[in-house]
Structure 1
């Protein structure tokens, strides 16, 4: 449930308050109407800009700057008057919490639920009677959220504890997730954006550095993009900048 429309309705109420103060000021001091009008227009412009800011960060992204988090808290400290004449914060504590997620778009509580899909994957695949040549399928499928430094999930495996196919799956999963058009909760990234994120993940020891280099040099990302991505996403010809 996206609550940004509820937030916008409070901004509309606050805008009406600003206009009402202007009209009242004009009745009390008509000679100061130009100054009152300018003050009203400045306040409304600032209100529009703040709402546009909230709408932008509500879409989420790779990371949220600390200065943006502080701005959300400052906006939340403003008040509006509800239908019963009571002053209330422009944003609730829970809305501030959800708008100030430092990385990604999930709260820690939501991420814990999402991460549980790997436990389900391992349980389901581990219960199936795979033939000998497919017996390592659970390992390959269950390792695509592991990181080379051991900070991934569900098992917290390090690079040395993972097979090469499992490490390959981790790279493939990240690339597909960043560029996929079929995920309604996010906008598919251009190749430059996706490869930039993956390069940083490699630098942070999240992706296997040798396999990542092979991924870039082989241009498998380009072959995949030409086959599965929209033309607007294909903004990289040579991946050397991402090695």
Structure 2
């Protein structure tokens, strides 16, 4: 548990996959924290002060020190609180986890978003093809129950967009017969006690993605 003299605050938006990543990490570590909801399109002055570069959630504030970007935050959490490690202790395995989590964000998450929300049908289909190509690499990489072995780890947390987007796309985005190992992983991950406790409702997920799409489409001021 976090020490009594420590202040841990998470600025986020309900339904954000990147915020959920951090919430899972905090829950796995047993870290008590204060959650502050941010409204997309109308971010607070506090958020803008703590993350002036990207102006996005999540932001973790630990004893007054802000950390942004979900993967960076999770690594910070894992280093700051030693109990229940999220990344492996072996340097090579840690490097592999960093590689695959970066691959997920750059090759999978963006393509998944485009395959659902791009207005042009041809662009959605192109993104879906890119997504399936990337997911095949993850399918081949998955050797155990989770990417982290028998317990969820860094790559599992990074890949949570898979069950989230299955809900948003009404389970049509990732057909189980195409990626059977990922499909089973998705169910096991979603039913993990920590994940179930943190995961928002389907309505909250829809609300976030709708608000996020509207925020991105709005003209900049």
Superposed pair shares fold, TM > 0.5: no
TM-score of the pair, normalised by structure 1: 0.27
Relative contact order: is structure 1 or structure 2 higher (C-alpha 8 Å, sep ≥ 6)?
2
Q: Which has the greater radius of gyration?
A: 1
TM-score of the pair, normalised by structure 2: 0.29
More helix by share: 1
